[in-house]
Structure 1
């Protein structure tokens, strides 16, 4: 028999949170929790052998943060979508999680209906951010476009790309690692729906970024 349920994997260092989410989804026809763990490193190993559609992850965890876990998951398992779970909607953390590649961000005080709606949106290729998280996002200075919000750092990198600087030169100029620049570039291309530097520069000119 074909399993048509969407497969969820949960990572949280508090077992009570995992048990609570499982309880909420027990009788749902569209979702099935296929695995869970309390340590991010264990999650990476289990995802290798556990087909998963959505990873639900805490942010503040020992050994590895949800931000770093998301980066690794999106690199190793690009088809897995990530929904962040947190007690707080700190704008810096939200920014880092967005840049890492999440599809949604909800608070742990979320009720069942909002959780189901968030999962539905993500499964269908959309993003979902809870009302409190959205309020924090609105406070961030960004450039809005059709596919997402470019951060000030991303706009800065676009302008440096236009000056024909290499990733290493950009990293040295901004005092960040070359790997971080590469991550920013991937996010920029995704958000602007471009696939080449020429396409990106055209986007930048059209939107008056450069």
Structure 2
């Protein structure tokens, strides 16, 4: 069971996420906090695996909170949930210790995948941000790293189809509809692709698809 704590100064956001996660057999929301200080107080009495953390909060903001979490609760993994999509904020949060960064506009399937990925210790960047960063890399004329030149793993036909659709920006739900299968099946294909390609997040996955000529 993945124990989740929600840290956001807007109660309606916390209520929405709690409702979104309700019914998931492997995820449980065990606490909420409206700022970083209250989150730290919560963690003193309630074990938590993953914190869904907003950046802009009163008393103690997201960046300050991550710093304190690294010092006091290093085993707790952080997934940033924000409306801020600027590259500066993403880099700042990831460098501070967050494992993942997603926008509040993402759908249910992607946030579930993000939570499970971060809980397992894998980095995660939502598809919208990954595509945006990829476009910036192309605009700067940056070339793929040497790691992208390694021998291509053997992907199944269906995995290749899923990878291409991920790279084109489709959500898990949209891919499931296009391929006439379930969201759970697409999540399984996505995890298999990640394991085979040895990439660590969605941005790297899309970049891999580009280097392989799938996009």
TM over 0.5: yes
Query: Shift in Å at residue 144 of structure 1?
Result: 5.7
Structure 1 residues 98 and 136 mapped into 2: Cα distance closer, same or farther (>3 Å)? farther
Equivalent positions of 1:158-173 (< 5 A) are none
Cα deviation, 1:39-72, whole Å, max 9, x if unaligned, reads 2111111111110000001011112221111111
Equivalence for 2:12: 16
How many Å separate the matches in 2 of 1:66 and 1:144? 31
4+ runs of 1 displaced by more than 4 Å? 140-146
Q: Which residue of 1 aligns with 2:194?
A: none
Q: Which moved more, 1:70-79 or 1:126-135?
A: 126-135
CA contact (8 A) 2:35 2:61 kept: no
Q: Give the number of aligned pairs.
A: 142
Q: How far apart in 1 are the matches of 2:89 and 2:5? A: 21
Contact 1:11–1:38 under 8 Å retained in 2: yes
Q: Is 2:97 the partner of 1:101?
A: yes
Find out whether 1:84 has 2:80 as its counterpart. yes
**Is 2:3 the partner of 1:7?**
yes
Q: Which residue of 1 aligns with 2:27?
A: 31
Provide the C-alpha distance between the structure 1 equivalents of 2:108 and 2:93, rounded to a whole number of angstroms.
23
Deviations 1:90-146 (A, max 9, x none): 111111101111110100011110011111111222111012222354447899687
CA separation of 1:52/1:145 partners in 2, compared to 1, >3 Å: closer, same or farther? farther
User: Can you give the 5+ residue segments of structure 2 that lack an aligned partner in the other structure?
Assistant: 148-215
Q: Does residue 41 of the first structure (1) align with residue 29 of the second (2)?
A: no
2:78–2:99 Cα contact (<8 Å) kept = yes
Q: Which has the higher contact order (CA 8 A, sep 6+)?
A: 2
The CA deviation string for residues 142-166 of structure 1, in whole angstroms up to 9 with x for no partner, is 99687xxxxxxxxxxxxxxxxxxxx
Q: Which residue of 2 aligns with 1:198?
A: none
Q: After TM superposition, give the deviation of residue 74 of structure 1 in Å.
A: 1.6
Q: What does 1:147-166 align with in structure 2 at a 5 Å threshold?
A: none
1:55 to 51, 56, 67: 51
Distance 2:27 2:60 in 1: 27
**Contact 1:11 1:56 (C-alpha < 8 Å) held by counterparts:** yes
- Structure 1 alignment gaps of length 5 or more: 147-210
